[in-house]
A and B are shown apart, each in its own frame.
Chain A
Amino acid sequence: MKQTASSPKRVSLTLMSLFFLTASLPTYASDGSSAIMDTVWVATAAGLVFFMQAGFALLESGMSRAKNAVNVMMKNYVDVCLGSMVFWFIGFGLMFGDNPTGLFGTSAFMLSDGSAWDYTFLLYQTMFAATAVTICSGAMAERTKYSGYLFAICIIIALVYPVYGSWVWGGAFGGSGWLADLGFIDFAGSTVVHSIGAWCALAGIMVLGPRTGRFGIKGEVRDIPGHSLPLVALGGFILWLGWFGFNGGSTLAATEDIGLILLNTHLAAAAGAAGSLLFTKLMRKPVLLSSTINGSLAGLVGITAGCATMVPAFAIITGFVAGAISIIGYYVLLRWRLDDVVSAIPVHGFAGVWGTLAAGLFLKDDMFNPSIIGTQLIGIAAAFIWAFILAYIVFSVIKFLFGLRSQSRHEQLGLDYTEHSEVGYPEFQKTTTFHKEEQ
């Protein structure tokens, strides 16, 4: 029965490989090697994870004011560009290199003499690193100096992300991480990717402070609506699609497990939206498109750790709770007077914590095992302590040396114009008198 069910999957994977490979494919395919199938699947998944950057760009840009739309897009774009180079240069080696101490990798820096599989693996992990770091851009939008931000992401991708990653996923070239040795479960990165990114973002917004006028003198919260909800919705759909590569590709092989992983991913996203909807209603708050989309993203973040190790019913519960957490987290941050423009911290941080815990709670064949839950809690705490403290130091040093916050004048004019000398919507822009012909 199992064999019969897997056959159509094999056929569809072959079709996908035919679609994505060039004319040289038949030569390899004729070898019948499963390594080729694995490579095709992981490379395709890498493409999907790369596409998530487009989703982040649209979502974050749509949630920002029109005068900062270009700046947000630029940050997302450059996250991938700079992040990829820095990760190849140092991050990959620190994360996956030979790891005798369990604390960090010591080989595979600037990888140029690896096997065919090493390059595929590097490509896939590069996309993960870029995803982790791009979480900061949304939270810190609309008031961060471009140069300071770029400097910070280089350090995060070179040090903060890969060192923690080595504790959980390290040792691809020998040895293993200390959290992996304890039995910490994080299949595709609820904590390794999403929480780490969110804790860095939390440190970033604490060092930066809120956008001018976000909180009134008497402490009242002022809404600053984004400029395009259609972009937000499109970004949400793209991220959802990209997550199939994010979770599905983490098998690192074209196996029949992919079906369950993708189903769990999809159900958790749907349940996340439902959870946020219900919880918003219970709190007697307006049901917003942005909070619904964030609910589904929280569901996706939540299921990322346990998508391969729980049954669909628990994937739904995980997603549902994650969606509710994203709503609670939003109001908690406001109460703390923390200005997270896109709710990245509730979605990636708080939901990531829950998802990692859920992966231990709902582990197939060994549910509610206190020892596993304890290990999950250790991994969650280690992520927060490492990423938050280090990122806080990094952002503070950058603030002290070069400045991290944009001048209030730049905040007034919009970072599109002040940082990049262009505006996202020149026909409609009315907050500056920028006319090139008169310059």
Chain B
Amino acid sequence: MNQEFKRRVIYTALADKLTSAELWDVLWRWEHNFADKTRYELNQFLAACSDISAIRLNRGDIYRLAIRMLMSPEEFQLRPDPMPMMLKNKPQESASASKNKVDQISEEDVISALVMTDLLQHMIDQVKIESAIQVMKYAQINAQRKNMPISLIKVLEDSNHKIALPKTGVKENDAKQLVSLFYIGLCELEGPVAIDAILSEGIQTLLKKYSQKRDYKLMLQKILDK
């Protein structure tokens, strides 16, 4: 279950019940504290948002609705990924500690993290599981050698050969380096011809996926630029 899907569920479940300011605040709380947790912790998340009256009063309904959406998404018309809107509505500096944390992440870093994750995930999804595990290990070792941010190295530790979205965003240059590390590692493991084809296919897939998201498309270009 990917993070984008879970974000869309939370967004859909809350969108009609909260004011705009409340909505973006709650979604950022979820992004930072609960995005990578299981659905069983959804109740805990709603409890953590009980300072917002609309959630406190409708907590049971929201919880049940969100769980149903997670279990049977085909029965609902999920709203699109709210991340672009979230980025435009980042919490202000004067708010809580979690809000301060959000302020340190630029919009660009968040988009580059999303795009990088999508691209890397596409690449490792196309190769054998052993290669996926090996390349993550290879990238992790080399990322450490290159003194890349710890938050970025941590996402490579993730089990089940899934790339987790770095919570603190990713600098464009780090994203470039990580994509390169994956490319080199997979070249050595699978051969350059196969990996060129996978990378090429990945780029085309993402360009299609981002067809309505100009910022994402441009970020993909930047990550793949020299």
Chain A positions within 8 Å of B, measured between CB atoms, are 65, 67, 211-214, 216-217, 222-225, 408-410, 412-413, 417-418, 430-435, 438
Contact = CB atoms under 8 A, between A and B. Distances in A.
A58 to B, nearest CB: 22
Contact of B192 (A211, A413, A417, A432): A211
A408 B184 contact: yes
B192 A217 contact: no
Nearest to B220: A433
A369 B200 CA distance: 60
Nearest to A213: B187
B116 interface: no
A430 B200 contact: yes
Chain A binding surface SS class: loop
Contacts of B218: 438
B207 A224 contact: no
A433 B214 CA distance: 13
Interface string B174-194: 001000100110011111110
B98 interface: no
A211, A213, A418 — which one has the most chain B CB atoms within 10 A of its CB?
A213
Nearest to A430: B200
B193 A222 contact: yes
A408 B196 contact: no
Given A216-B188, A224-B193, 9 more contacts: A213-B188, A213-B191, A216-B189, A223-B193, A409-B180, A432-B225, A433-B221, A434-B221, A438-B218
A413 B192 CA distance: 12
Contact of B195 (A213, A225, A413): A213
Among all A-B residue pairs, the 6 with the closest Cβ atoms:
A213-B187, A213-B192, A222-B191, A430-B200, A433-B221, A418-B226
Contacts of A417: 226
Contacts of A433: 203, 207, 217, 220-221, 224
23 contacts: A211-B192, A212-B184, A212-B188, A213-B195, A216-B188, A217-B189, A222-B193, A223-B193, A224-B191, A409-B176, A412-B180, A412-B183, A412-B184, A412-B199, A413-B226, A417-B226, A418-B226, A431-B196, A431-B199, A431-B200, A433-B207, A434-B221, A434-B225
A430 B201 CA distance: 8
Given A410-B226, A417-B226, A431 B203 contact: yes
A16 B221 CA distance: 55
Contacts of B184: 212, 408, 412
Nearest to A65: B196
A224 B190 CA distance: 12
B89 interface: no
A433 B217 CA distance: 9
A409 B181 CA distance: 9
A417 B220 CA distance: 16
Contacts of A216: 188-189, 191
Nearest to B218: A438
A436 to B, nearest CB: 11
B18 to A, nearest CB: 36
Contacts of B189: 216-217
A412 B176 CA distance: 11
Nearest to B199: A431
B221 A413 contact: no
A154 B20 CA distance: 66
Contacts of A225: 193
Given A408-B184, A417-B226, A433-B207, A214 B192 contact: yes
B83 to A, nearest CB: 20
Nearest to B190: A213
B204 interface: yes
A432 B221 CA distance: 8
B138 to A, nearest CB: 11
Contact of A430 (B204, B220, B221): B204
Contacts of B224: 413, 432-433
Contacts of B220: 433
Contacts of A432: 203, 224-225
Contacts of B180: 408-409, 412
A222 B190 CA distance: 9
Nearest to B192: A213
Contacts of A408: 180, 183-184
Contacts of B226: 409-410, 413, 417-418
B188 A224 contact: no
Nearest to A413: B226
A432 B207 CA distance: 11
B219 to A, nearest CB: 10
B222 to A, nearest CB: 9
Contacts of A430: 200-201, 203-204
Nearest to B195: A213
A216 B187 CA distance: 9
Contacts of B193: 222-225
A130 B201 CA distance: 40
Contacts of A413: 224, 226
A87 B176 CA distance: 42
Nearest to B183: A412
A373 B129 CA distance: 59
A87 to B, nearest CB: 33
A224 B192 contact: yes
Contacts of B190: 213
A412 B200 CA distance: 11
